[in-house]
Amino acid sequence: MAGYQGKVAVVTGAASGIGYAVAARAAAEGMTVVLADIDAPRLEEAARSLRAGGADARAMVADVSDRDSVTDLARRVAREAGDTWLLVNNAGVYLSAPFTEMPAADWEFVLGVNLWGVVHCLQAFLPGMLERDSGHVVNTSSIDGLVTVRNATSYVAAKHAVTALSETLYRELEEAGSSVGISVLCPAAVATDILNSGRHRPARLGPAAPLTAREYPPLDEVMQPEQAADIMFAGVRERRFWILTHPEQGAGAIRARAEGIIAGRNPDDESLDPNFTKATGRQPS
């Protein structure tokens, strides 16, 4: 794969967490970086921090759940930064509650960002990448897009959809002989602010239900976003589709689920790798 120098990277959810770490890594690779996020103050601060280090970093406010906002983002990127080579659909939100306690507005919020946000960005950016026959897409799913966990039905459903969408698109690009690559990033426990997602909830949806109480590992005890970004870039460089931040810890749960499906067993927690809980802070189901 050719170097990244001078190419344009667009990263959504880039004001903090994995998104910011990916943007910072892209800047370190010599890319022109467009940081997109709905949080305007934090977004500008993030871009300013990268520019202070000599990066060509542009802050562009966008709501990925809004098709028109993403269409405007794509037009602005083309006009102000150039042709997108790396598209990282990273914006994500998380709410936790049993299915029976999660109202429709919460589903709309979670699916609007986590699933429709990916669809909107692909529809806005991918045609140009295909026309140029150049570039790479990374869709951020989750370990929860490969297994299931309790009390997170909307998040799990959205992330499984992102995984399946990405895998199907990979097959379609391969069949078409396209040079455009695609990867799905499946993080487990990474030190981000995703548990505070409700602060970006559209006012029209009203307040979110409180998060279901559960124990999460302290942020200083889990993988840092910079390490996740390094893992992602290694995967892109190697044109790997599957990029897992914690492959060893997640393998047991992924294997057990697949074997249970083949065997026709009802979902259970038996035979799961105990490291899964350590990596995710959650119990699979």
Of 27, 20, 69, 66, the residue nearest 44 (C-alpha): 20
User: Which entry of 4, 20, 155, 170 is annotated as an active-site residue?
Assistant: 155
CA angle (197, 167, 118) in 5-degree steps: 35
Q: Which residues of 12-33 are buried (b: 16+ CB within 10 A; e: fewer)?
A: bbbbbbbbbbbbbbbbbbebbb
Token pair 């970093």: residue: 57
The residues with which 89 forms a beta bridge, in sequence order, are 139
Query: Is 155 a known active-site residue?
Result: yes
Asked if 244 and 145 touch (Cβ cutoff 8 Å), the reply is: no
Asked if 277 and 189 touch (Cβ cutoff 8 Å), the reply is: no
Of 35, 189, 207, the residue nearest 109 (C-alpha): 207
* Phi-psi label, residue 19: left if phi above 0, alpha if psi -120 to 50, beta otherwise: alpha
Helices marked H in the chain — which ranges? 17-28, 40-52, 67-80, 104-114, 116-132, 153-176, 225-237, 247-263, 275-280
Asked if 37 and 19 touch (Cβ cutoff 8 Å), the reply is: yes
Annotated catalytic residues are 155
